[in-house]
Amino acid sequence: MKVIVPANNKGGVGKTKLSIILAEYFSTYLRKRVLAIDFDPQCNFSSRFLHMEIDPASIAGKLPPIHPDYSTTDQNTSWLEGGRSSIADIFYGQPIIPYPTHIGTLDIAPAHAEKLLVAEAVRRSEVVEKVYRQIGILLESQDVTESYDIVIIDTAPSKGPLTISAIKAATHMIIPSVMEEQPIQGVYGMMQLWMQESLNRPKGKPLDLIGILPNMFRKTRLHTDMLDSLKRNPEMANFVIPLTLGQRTAYAEVDAEGAAPKTVFDLPEADQARKETLAVCEYISERIFTNE
Ligand SMILES: Nc1ncnc2c1ncn2[C@@H]1O[C@H](COP(=O)(O)OP(=O)(O)OP(=O)(O)O)[C@@H](O)[C@H]1O
Ligand SMILES: [Mg+2]
């Protein structure tokens, strides 16, 4: 089972967009069984596939809807909070019950804003036991390894315990970035995290860095210069993915509620956004499934 984690602690660089694209690509194009996991209290990845609800207990927080398999007459005590299941339940010793989505081969373990924020705030001395280990335990469970081929974990714009635990559980990491100063700082930070984690990995369990993906790329002086300087940097050059995702309105359009088409993959074949997205997905897929 492959575990892909897009990470960059700078916000708005396309982590969620990439998570969505990959989840849709692997499940619909390659017919892989995909588990999407949302580790970001903002709940954006979850909202793509589920109708998330406002949490009355927290300001601006969201929580998952009632699970479709839950029934009020169900005596099964593994259901918490009136039939809602979120990935944050791993931090509370509870089982995870993924939600089906409109795509048959794609399930999601959604975020729960409040509970994820609690896990993110765990004391340093307890973080290894209470946070780091939990996602690994879930992903190594027989239930999960037998049910899914690919897991995609969307992360928050932070280098906190949740992002670190996702990276610790990953087989593959990818760093999306806008080619601008602040996000590039994030890229350097993520490269450092990757190196540290790689040093700690046992031999048979490497963390493969797929690379740095330039997103929202425009052929402006700023973007081309930034990309060129990354490619000239000997420490970075080998990690820059030789493709880009442009700044395209199509991405925003398919995100709108009730949008048709619902994904870039449903756009006409000649559409640039679709072509670019497919090229990036195929590149990533090849990296993941070669040398099997
Ligand atoms: N290539 C693109 N072209 C146009 N819009 C894009 C592109 N990539 C992402 N976006 C849009 O930019 C916004 C930020 O992207 P996204 O939410 O994926 O970033 P993020 O890194 O997950 O942000 P955060 O750190 O807040 O979680 C979103 O509205 C998304 O739809
Ligand atoms: Mg996001």
Residue with tokens 């756009």: 267
Nearest protein Cα to ligand 1, atom 23: 12
More confident residue, 175 or 94: 175
Residue 82 in contact with residue 66, Cβ under 8 Å?
Answer: yes
Name the strands in the sheet holding 2-6, side by side, starting at the edge strand that comes first in the sequence. Answer: 99-100, 106-109, 34-38, 150-154, 2-6, 172-177, 208-214
Residue 291 Cα to ligand 2 midpoint, Å, equals 30
Residue 174 Cα to ligand 2 midpoint, Å, equals 14
Q: Is the pLDDT of residue 98 over 70?
A: yes
Q: Is the pLDDT of residue 72 over 90?
A: no
* Ligand 1 near 273 CB (within 6 A): no
Residue 195 has a CB neighbour count (10 Å cut-off) of: 13
Q: Is the pLDDT of residue 53 over 90?
A: yes
Q: What is the pTM of this model?
A: 0.95
* Ligand 1 near 9 CB (within 6 A): no
**pLDDT of res. 70:** 84
pLDDT tens digits for 233-257?
A: 999 999 999 999 999 998 888 877 7
**Ligand 1 atom with least separation from CA of 40:** 27
* Ligand 1 near 95 CB (within 6 A): no
Q: Identify the bridge partners of residue 240 per DSSP, sorted by sequence position.
A: 212
pLDDT tens digits for 14-24?
A: 999 999 999 99
Please give the CATH architecture assigned to the domain spanning 2-289: 3-Layer(aba) Sandwich (3.40)
Interval 212-217 mean pLDDT: 97
Confidence band for 75, pLDDT divided at 50, 70 and 90: low
